[in-house]
Amino acid sequence: MHELTEPPGREDFTPTYYDRPLLKAPHWDNWNVITYLFLGGIMGGLGLIQLLTHGDDASERRLKRTARMTSFLLAAANPAILTSHLGRPERFLNMLRIVKFKSPMSLGVWGLVFYSGAAGANVVRELANSGSLPRWMRFFAPRILTPVQALLGAFTAGYTGVLLSATANPFWSSGKRHIPAVSVASGLSSACALSTLLSVLGGNDRVTHKLERLEMVASATEFAILAHFEQHAGTYGAPFFTGARGKKLRTYTIQAGILAPMALNLIGLLPLPKPVDATRAVIASVLTLVGGYILRESLVEAGKLSVRDPRTAFVQPT
Amino acid sequence: MSDATGFFTDTTLCIGCKACEVACKQWNELPSDGFDFTGNSYDNTSELSGTTWRHVAFVEQMTVDQGGLHDRWLMSSDVCKHCTNAGCLEACPTGAIIRNEFDSVFIQPDICNGCGYCVASCPFGVVDVIERFDPEGVRYNLASLNEARREDNETALQGHGGVAGKCTLCYDRQKLGFVPACAKACPTESIQFGNVEQLRERARRRVETLTERGVQAQLYGADDVGGGVGPLNAFFLLTDRPEAYNLPAQPVLPSTRQPDGYAAAAVAVVGLAVAGWMIFRNA
């Protein structure tokens, strides 16, 4: 269909329309969409942590409680953040009119709603166990909700990536596998970092070494996915990996947010004096969290940049 | 025969008068775009937007070789394609975007919550969110709503960010049995409205006629455009490659990437969960 010849002398030239963008970027200009995706990832990671921790070890028991409390707070905050993006509370409720399997945004909101339910029930269980609520209220939170929260969390973390990659955006769609995978890995590393931070600050530092080892695995995965993505994204990946945006990604996410905390966590395997070790853990955790946030910011902003070049939209990634 | 209606935009007949742009703005009560002089031929509209539902592109092509100066001037009135498989419709989390009884893709403005996901999901870059609503300015189109709902929605829109907007294929006019405003206003019948199957038939005959006259012409969107998008209810007759008119040569329906995305996320979840289980195995 497209074998029409060009005007003489222009056979090799792909015309553009005055270099005007072909595609449009969404108006996701504020902190709220980035924060929504960032917290969605952390909620997923916390879902796994509250599943993995043992109930019969005092230190892990406290971590489980912290993970559940935090995950519920984040699950309650995220609809509010989404509402701040939409403008009015009723607009969030419009999301709950229907369930649409073809729309990652629709499925994600439902995932968030059910996650809030499971996380809330698990918090009730914690409070009933500790005596803050009557013991019979444990009836509202059967044990099955522990793996259920983990599963819903996995979905919540993954969908934040699919939400971006299943669009017409040239950069986002070029990472149809990388962005969902890196969203999961980043969500877990950030959740480990947040849990470590809260545990150290709460004086529960016996459990942090397990968290740090899991964080190292998640960060290494994140690094590997980003490296592989850079190799394969080609011109579609330019807004993310090159220029000022690429420099920010390299500095804040890869160097400060992945490599530096991994090094600090490796140092943590050595026997260190307790105050030094606590300081090290806090620094590593904060760096990982900042790196995770900048990763989400880079993903969103690079997508908005990528629509500026119409040539990347003529032949769209399959 | 299906009841689907649509547009056949024959760009060989377009004279660039922009009557379609004006008629669309007037009928749908859309605010002006301001006066920006782009210097891009006679195109100062530049693109379709949430408040510009027809856009006339002006493509000036000039080359010099031994045979002398070759120049031509292509004009084309762009519009929402009303895709068979519409990315915006699939992406919409509220169900605001529907397919109506005329097989057109229609945004219900009272249900749209302005999330902007359809904007990222249109492979043709058509739909956009109207961010600023000018309370002094022209009223926003609420074609399918009665007067009371319309006032409610205007109040709601003011100061609360916008809703997504794009061509409705004049849903309200079609309900009354009228031809859409742009097609009605077009003085050369470059924009033809009617039953899509009949329009496709007419378009194919037009290509044959043009080919006989030595004009290189092709249809864009009369048949499946590929990538899962399917045929377009608003299709075009072009005399250059689609890129020259800022149309994608190979559009892709975004939802076709979802299985790969969910699978990749699942692999990452399983791998990291196993690692976590090994680390936390011993209390």
**Domain ranges (residues) in chain B:** 5-252, 255-283
At A88 the pLDDT is 79
Measured in whole angstroms, the distance separating CA A212 from the mean position of its chain's CA atoms is: 18
Q: What pLDDT does residue B135 have?
A: 42
Residues of B in contact with A213 (CB under 8 A): 279
Contacts of B120 (CB under 8 A, 6+ apart): A24, A25, A26, A167, A168, A169, A172, A303, B91, B254
What pLDDT score does B69 carry?
83
Please name the residue that has the structure tokens 């249109």. B122
Single out the residue of A181, A161, A146, A157 nearest to residue A67, CA to CA: A146
Within 156-195 of A, beta carbons closer than 8 Å to B belong to: 157-159, 161-163, 165-169, 172-173, 176-185, 188
Which whole number is the average pLDDT over B76-100? 97
Closest chain A residue by Cα to residue B267? A181
Q: Which residues of B198-231 are buried (b: 16+ CB within 10 A; e: fewer)?
A: ebbeebeebbeebeeeeeebbbbbbeebbbbbbb
Task: Tell me how far apart the alpha carbons of residues A73 and B231 are, in angstroms, rounded to a whole number.
Answer: 47
| Dist CA B71 CA A44 (whole Å) | 59
In a domain, A275, yes or no: yes
Tokens found for residue A214: 């899991």
Q: Which residues contact B231 (CB under 8 A, 6 or more apart)?
A: B84, B200, B221, B222, B223, B224, B225
- Is B215 an interface residue toward A (CB < 8 Å)? no
Domains identified in chain A, total number = 1
Do the Cβ atoms of A310 and B246 come within 8 Å?
A: yes
For the stretch B120-152, pLDDT in tens is 999 999 999 886 544 444 344 444 344 544 555
Residue in B29, B44, B89, B63 with CA at minimum distance from that of residue B229: B89
> Do the chains contact at A24 and B275, CB–CB below 8 Å?
no
Per-residue tokens: B139:
């009223």
Mark out the alpha helices in A1-57 (DSSP H runs): 31-52
pLDDT at A13: 61
Inter-chain residue contact B269 with A218, CB threshold 8 Å: no
Q: Tell me the per-residue pLDDT of B27-56, one tens digit each, with 9 for 90 and over.
A: 988 877 777 788 999 999 999 999 899 999
Residue A18 lies in a domain: no
Beta strand B218-220 with B234-238 is: antiparallel
For residue A240, the 8-state DSSP code is: H
Do the chains contact at B272 and A310, CB–CB below 8 Å?
no
* A68, part of any domain: yes
Question: If you average pLDDT over every residue of chain B, what do you get?
Answer: 89
The Cβ-side half-sphere exposure at A165, using a 13 Å CA radius, reads 29
CATH of B5-252, one of 3.40.50.1100, 3.10.310.30, 3.40.50.2300, 3.30.70.20: 3.30.70.20
Task: List the structure tokens of A276.
Answer: 């030094």
- Note the maximum CA span of chain A: 84
Determine the 3-state secondary structure of A315 from DSSP.
Answer: strand
Residue B130: the pLDDT is: 81
Query: Quick check: B114 and B129 in contact, CB under 8 A?
Result: yes
Within a domain: A10? no
Residue A242 is assigned to a structural domain of this protein: yes
* Residue B212: per-residue pLDDT: 97
AA letter at B49:
S
A144 within some domain: yes
Q: What is the rounded distance in angstroms from the CA atom of residue A87 to the CA atom of residue A74?
A: 20
* Residue B193: C-alpha distances to residues B6, B25, B231 (Å): 6, 18, 16
Bridge partners, B10 (sequence order): B237
Those residues of chain A that have pLDDT short of 70 are 1-14
B79 to chain A, minimum CA–CA distance in Å? 13
Residue B207, CA distances (Å) to A206, B65, B191, B202, B213 in order: 77, 28, 15, 9, 10
Q: Does A143 touch chain B (CB under 8 A)?
A: no
Q: Residue A258 maps to which CATH number?
A: 1.20.1630.10
Model pLDDT for residues B168-191, shown as the tens digit of each residue = 999 999 999 999 999 999 999 999
Residue type at position A195: S
Q: Do B257 and A313 touch (CB under 8 A)?
A: no
Return residues 62-101 of A near B (CB < 8 Å): 85-88, 91-92, 94-95, 97-98, 100
Picking from B240, B256, B265, the nearest residue to A158 by CB comes out as: B265
Overall average pLDDT of the B197-210 stretch = 98
Residues B84, B260, A313, CA angle at the centre, nearest 5°?
55
Domain interval for residue A63: 31-314
Check CB contact under 8 Å for A157 and B258.
no
A-contacting residues in B 85-114 (Cβ below 8 Å): 87, 90-96, 111-114
For residue B27, the Cα-to-chain-centroid distance in whole angstroms is 18
Instruction: Please answer whether residues B28 and B141 qualify as being in contact, where contact means their C-beta atoms are separated by less than 8 angstroms.
Output: yes
Gap from B135 CA to chain A (nearest CA, Å): 17
pLDDT at A19: 92
- At residue B1, the pLDDT reads 62
